[in-house]
Amino acid sequence: MTKRLLVTVVDDDESVRESLPDLLKVLGYSVQAFSSAAAFLGSADIENNDCLILDVAMPEMTGPELSVELRRRGYRIPVVFITAHRDYSVPPLVPGQDAVQCLLKPFSEAALIAALDTAIPRN
């Protein structure tokens, strides 16, 4: 059996933090969830993450800000942004860069799987 891919969810909304990890686990991923950027940055194994699912609008530090901070620290981890704000300004997703896709809440299971497949090529 292959090692499960680690996906970390950072969202200040509790219902997302409850529901999304369960779905990701059912889909075969290992999952971490943090309620803020600061909490994630303070965790032990950032480098083991295969994909980050970041909420865009969070107090203190937004998802894109966290993404910039991680790159500044030298991490190259694919990121999928999720947001409930349709008009929220999301930094442009540059191919080859960290950001893979921005999903608008509520998003479907298929959209999530597709985004993850893009972020983590299966082979």
Partner 1 sequence: MSGLAALAALPAIWVGRDADYVLETLLDALLSALKADFVCVTLEGPKPKSRIRGRSGVTPAHDQLLRALAGTFGDDKSAWPPAGEISVGADAISILSAPMGLQGEVGVVVAGTRRRDFDDETGGLLLGAAANQAALALQAVRRLDEQKQIASDLDERVAQRTAELARANEALRFAARESREIVDNIPTLVGLLSPTGQVELVNRQIHEYTGRSTEELEKWGMSDLVHQDDLADALDSFVAGFAAGEPFEIVYRMRRHDGIYRWFEGLHHPLKDAEGRVVRWCVSCNDIEDRKQVEDALRERERTWRSVINGIPGLTATLSPRGMVEAVNRQIVEYTGCELEALRGWGSNGIVHPEDMPHVAEIFGKSIAAGASYEIEQRLRRFDGEYRWFSNRGTPAFDASGQVVRWYVLLVDIHEARLVADALRSSEDNARSIVSSIAGMIAVFTADGQLCGGNQQLLDFFEQPLEEVGRWATNGMTHPDDLQYCIDSFMGSIVSGEPYNYETRFKRADGVWRWFNIRGQPLRDASGQIARWYGLLTDIDDRKRAEEALEVSERNLQLTVDTIPALAWSARIDGTADFFNRHYLEYVGKTPEELGGWAWTAAVHPDDIARLGATWNLARETGGNAECEARLLGADGAYRWFIFRANPLLDDAGNVLKWYGINTDIEDRKRAEESLRLSEASLAEAQRLSSLGSFQWRLDTDELTFSDELYRIFEFDTAEPATLEQIAARVDPDDLPLLTEKMELARVGIDDHSYDIRLRMPDGRTKHLRSVSRSGTESDGRRVFRGTIQDVTQRKLSEEALNELRTELAHVSRVSTLGAMTASIAHEVNQPLAGIITNASTCLRMLAMDPPNIEGALETARRSIRDGNRAAEVITRLRAMFRKTTNTSETVDLNEAARDVIVLAGSELRRKRVELETNLASDLPPVMGDRVQLQQVILNLLLNAADAVTDIRDRPRRAMLKTSEDEDGNVRLTVQDNGGGIDPSSSTKLFDAFYTTKASGMGIGLSVSRSIIERHGGRIWASANDGPGASFSFAVPRSPKGYNGGDATAYSAHTQLRPQGEGQ
Return residues touching partner 1 (CB under 8 A): 13, 15-16, 18-20, 22-23, 26-27, 57, 59, 82, 84-88, 104-109
Per-residue H/E/C for 63-83:
HHHHHHHHHHCCCCCCEEEEE
Return the number of the residue (46 or 90) whose C-beta is nearest partner 1: 90
Q: Helix or strand or coil: residue 106?
A: coil
Q: What is the closest distance, in whole angstroms, from the C-beta atom of residue 25 to partner 1 in the complex?
A: 8
Complex with partner 1: residue 75 or 107, whichever CB lies closer: 107
Q: 3 or 86: whose CB is closer to partner 1?
A: 86
What token pair was written down for 95? 């191919």
The residue (of 2 and 108) whose beta carbon lies closer to partner 1 is: 108
Work out how close the CB of 123 gets to partner 1 at its nearest, in angstroms, rounded to a whole number: 23
Provide the minimum distance between the beta carbon of 53 and partner 1 in the complex, in angstroms, as a whole number.
11
Lookup result for tokens 């969830």 = 33
Q: How far is the CB of 71 from partner 1 (least distance, A)?
A: 23
Phi, psi of 81, rounded to the nearest 5 degrees = -85, 140
The conformation of residue 34, written as its DSSP 8-state character, comes to: E
